[in-house]
Amino acid sequence: MKLEYNITLADWKAAIRLHSRQKLGRRIHFFIFDYVIPALAVLSLAYIIFANLSGREDTVDALLVPVSALVLLAILLPIVRNYQIKKSFKGIFPPSETGPGYSLDIDDERILSTRPGLGEAKYYWKGICGLARNEKIILLYISEILFLGIPPKRLSPDQRAELNDLLARHLAKR
């Protein structure tokens, strides 16, 4: 089965999101940066405002710098993450003028990944160490942090069925 497609930024963001949910450490990391730090920033800011209205200037003076740093961190972290995701996407998937940006040739023996004008890599099924999927992306892990991404919405129903059959045959045992 031969698959040819371009990975979009939305596909890459879906892959990063799915990848971040695969290990407990990554889940905790993203939970802290996505929820805990912004919640602490809002609560700390509310406490500063309350202390200021209550006439406790000594508390406000003592907490102003740490709370300001926390609020700045809560604002900058999503901006920096979005920038890093876009930068990694542009580095990994540069625009291709020669055709589709990505090509996978998958059969019962191996997966041949080709990037026209850049190179190709061959992975045997024994080398695929994990699988993660949702409705937006399928990730075939070639190491703990490296994966091949396949957007299922770009596949025909026949290709989807054949891919699911191959994945079930080769990865269901693990």
What whole-number distance in Å separates Cα of residue 27 and Cα of residue 107? 33
Residue-range definition of the domain harbouring residue 107 = 2-6+95-171
CA distances from 59 to 41, 52, 65, 155 (A): 16, 8, 11, 59
Query: Is residue 112 domain-shared with residue 143, that is, in the same domain?
Result: yes
What whole-number distance in Å separates Cα of residue 20 and Cα of residue 36? 16
The pLDDT value given to residue 96: 61
Here the CATH number for the domain that contains residue 103 is 2.30.29.30
Percent of the chain with pLDDT over 70: 95
Domain count, the chain: 2
Query: Is residue 84 domain-shared with residue 137, that is, in the same domain?
Result: no
Query: Is residue 28 domain-shared with residue 73, that is, in the same domain?
Result: yes
Please state which of the ranges 15-19, 97-101, 117-121, 161-165 shows the lowest mean pLDDT: 97-101
Summarize pLDDT for 95-110 with one digit per residue, the tens. Answer: 765 556 788 999 999 9
**At which residue do the structure tokens 């996978």 appear?**
104
Model confidence at 51, in pLDDT bands (50, 70, 90)?
A: very high
**At which residue do the structure tokens 């090509």 appear?**
103
* Boundary-marking domain end, from 33, 63, 92: 92
- 137: helix, strand or coil: coil
pLDDT above 90 (res 171) = no
| DSSP-assigned beta bridge partners for residue 130 | 141
Model confidence at 174, in pLDDT bands (50, 70, 90)?
A: low
* Boundary-marking domain end, from 69, 92, 115: 92
